[in-house]
Structure 1
């Protein structure tokens, strides 16, 4: 019973638990509990004017967890899934529950694919991405990247890897383009 002001029913009553588990509830004497007045459940005191919130209209298909019966009443719509990254996201939600590592690894892979899709899409525009300035590689040289990491910063261990991590995909892409161009020229 999601998104309603009622509390879900307990699986067992306190009497059943006391009968089944010796000593259960020994510390539950209401006279000894400072939170007892606040624990009294009064549905009219919630301030909500609804039993179930109004559902946000779904204009485009959304990812849906297999563990939930429906979408939450309000959900984000900033980046609808599309392209190969959207297909990977839909597969992750359709096939794997949120408790599986495969679900989250597929979503991470979809994010990486989305970045690659945006880079490729940027080359089709009049102002493509500039890998030297937008990945921070140029700033490492011109704005004292190594000097700024002295003095007890926690990221000192990986500062040599930052240009590699940010620049390696661009170098691999440039190498692939050069290889394809060379093959095209030879044939």
Structure 2
């Protein structure tokens, strides 16, 4: 058993598996495989039929799993890591293997931080984010979104109430925080 002191059972032999499972190993004999006439049992003698391509130059240190010796010859450069999200991504790749949950949780946290930072950056621009249009609320009302879901066996109906909370919750919390801040600042100005 896993996580106990007992020794795990030994793997069964082919004969034992064949006796226990009807039809097990039916494709072991190449004559019984449907793809044999087209199946190449003798691949190219040295594997790949191409030479290692010229490596793309690295303009900055890229994230690379610690399980691999080097980066792939070609990699994306459109979104270099930056800010707090970039530092978290670098930490995830430097410290944790891809087989660890911490690696993926850090990457997800970096994505969330990046998404929130980009939303905050839009408020400093001439075209700030508009939560009403960007979340699809207008399209839901205009194109009968609720009616198309009612009476159906759709999987998204289960998490639909949570979507309102997840998407709208931060905006409502931010609006409430701004309201409280304005109420706190206004009496302070009135006293002057």
Task: Please classify the TM superposition score into its range, dividing by the shorter chain length.
Answer: 0.7 to 0.9
Q: Flag the 1:176–1:43 CA change in 2: closer, same or farther, 3 A.
A: farther
SS in 2 for 1:39: coil
SS in 1 for 2:145: coil
Map of 2:23 onto structure 1: none
Q: Flag the 1:186–1:102 CA change in 2: closer, same or farther, 3 A.
A: farther
Deviation of 1:173 after TM superposition, in Å, equals 1.9
Q: Flag the 1:131–1:29 CA change in 2: closer, same or farther, 3 A.
A: closer
Map of 1:116 onto structure 2: 116
Give structure 1 stretches of 5+ with no counterpart. 1-21
TM-score (norm 2): 0.71
Deviation of 1:98 after TM superposition, in Å, equals 0.4
Bigger RCO of structures 1 and 2 (CA < 8 A, at least 6 apart): 1
Tell me the C-alpha RMSD between the 2 structures: 3.1
Distance in 2 of aligned mates of 1:141 and 1:31:
61
Q: Which moved more, 1:131-140 or 1:117-126?
A: 131-140
1:158 matches 2:159: yes
SS in 1 for 2:40: helix
Distance in 1 of aligned mates of 2:142 and 2:31:
68
**Is contact 1:137–1:167 with CA below 8 Å preserved after alignment?**
no
1:102 matches 2:102: yes
Map of 1:180 onto structure 2: 181
TM-score (norm 1): 0.73
Map of 2:20 onto structure 1: none
Map of 2:125 onto structure 1: 125
After the TM superposition, which segments of 4 or more aligned residues of structure 1 sit over 3 Å from their partners?
27-37, 43-47, 179-187
Q: Count how many residue pairs are aligned between Structure 1 and Structure 2.
A: 164
Deviation of 1:176 after TM superposition, in Å, equals 2.6
SS in 2 for 1:125: coil
Deviation of 1:61 after TM superposition, in Å, equals 2.6
SS in 1 for 2:125: coil
1:148 matches 2:148: yes
Map of 1:74 onto structure 2: 74
Give structure 2 stretches of 5+ with no counterpart. 1-12, 16-26
Q: Which moved more, 1:58-67 or 1:125-134?
A: 58-67
1:168 matches 2:169: yes
